[in-house]
Structure 1
């Protein structure tokens, strides 16, 4: 299976953003101030008002989103890929700005959220692609830029064979006016092995 584009209008927002508009083949989304996803752990609070554009996803294909990093300037600015089974069973993966540095960030949630971070200062200003492919009871999450190869950033339990959705996400916990440009949303052949990099769409 070659990469196949998913139309922006194929998805439905979990929470409508301030605005979203198509500019050529891209989608520009402005997040609401205070938007986020989180369930209980450490902080005690629950947030479910982030913006995810979701369409059905099954195990026959992997899902990828690509977005521009140039607009990330404030603490917790974030965008990437949401994997969704329900309000308390989801995984968000992407880039989150912490202490002025972009980090690969994954939050895996099953009633409670966890959070993993890995700094990627060398990715500043790049286009970022996040990819998820389900294998057995888990998802393999990978990331790359236009100038670097795939990195495997998380293997997380996600045992849902049916009822899954996936698509672009953006959140702005701390400020108004945060906009992200998404350049692609595609599906492709699922991963064949965790140690084998998937092909890169040229």
Structure 2
């Protein structure tokens, strides 16, 4: 996945700024607000759109990668990458704490949210990269831990003409104070094929 360019933290814009964020060297360290989340309706019956996302343009034919580390402690602590068109149309993918274990997962929202998860207990506290690649009418989401192999997370629809944004996100639906260190934010060309 070559041809990548670093996106400077200052060149992206916060949707719902966190309680605290600061640049430390090349890293962005973020502390979440209390009960922050992104979700629409399904099963829980509520709409939450107050999670933190640092977004920049995500045009068709491009890919975005976000790398981060975090210690997930509370239920639903989460961090990763968000793709967003508006409050009813978005994707979030990354690591989320549930049932006492970090899980790799994604939520795809088109009016209503869904949720898919797979346990990754060995990813706790380690460097995780999430990649979203936009081509045609779809976004392909992959992730990996450290320098491990890429895992396919999700293939989700996104209209080719949609005006989308993408970037790092984090939330802590059950508390305040999840601390996430984002170490990398890059963009480049979309993946050549669905299969890496």
TM-score range, shorter-chain basis? Answer: over 0.9
Q: Tell me the secondary structure at the aligned position of residue 149 of structure 1.
A: coil
CA distance in 1, matches of 2:140, 2:147: 21
Deviations 1:40-85 (A, max 9, x none): 111110000000011111123210000003x211111100001000
The offset of 1:162, in angstroms, is 3.8
1:138-177 equivalences under 5 Å are 138-177=138-177
Matches within 5 A, 1:1-202: 2-69=3-70, 71-195=71-195, 197=196
Distance in structure 2 (CA, Å) of the matches to 1:49 and 1:172: 10
The alignment yields a C-alpha RMSD, in angstroms, of 1.1
Aligned partner of residue 149 in structure 2, secondary structure: strand
8 Å contact from structure 2 (residues 61, 135) kept in 1:
no
Structure 1 runs of 4+ aligned residues shifted over 2 Å read none
Deviation at 1:160, TM superposition (A): 4.0
What TM-score do you get using the length of structure 1 for normalisation? Answer: 0.93
Shift of 1:188: 2.0
Confirm or deny: 8 A CA contact 2:62 2:135 kept in the other structure: no
Give TM-score scaled by structure 2 length.
Answer: 0.96
Segments of structure 2 that go 5 or more residues without pairing to the other structure are: none
Map of 1:200 onto structure 2? none
CA distance in 2, matches of 1:48, 1:125: 26
The separation in 2 between residues aligned to 1:74 and 1:35, in whole angstroms, is 13
Helix, strand or coil at the partner of 1:148: coil
Distance 1:75 1:187 in 2: 31
1:97-127 superposed Cα distances (whole Å, 9 cap, x missing partner): 1122110110100110000011111222210
Aligned equivalents of 2:99 and 2:112: distance in 1? 25
Unaligned runs of 5+ in 1: 198-202
- Using the alignment, how far apart are the partners of 1:118 and 1:41 within structure 2? 19
Is the Cα contact below 8 Å between 1:85 and 1:160 reproduced in 2? no
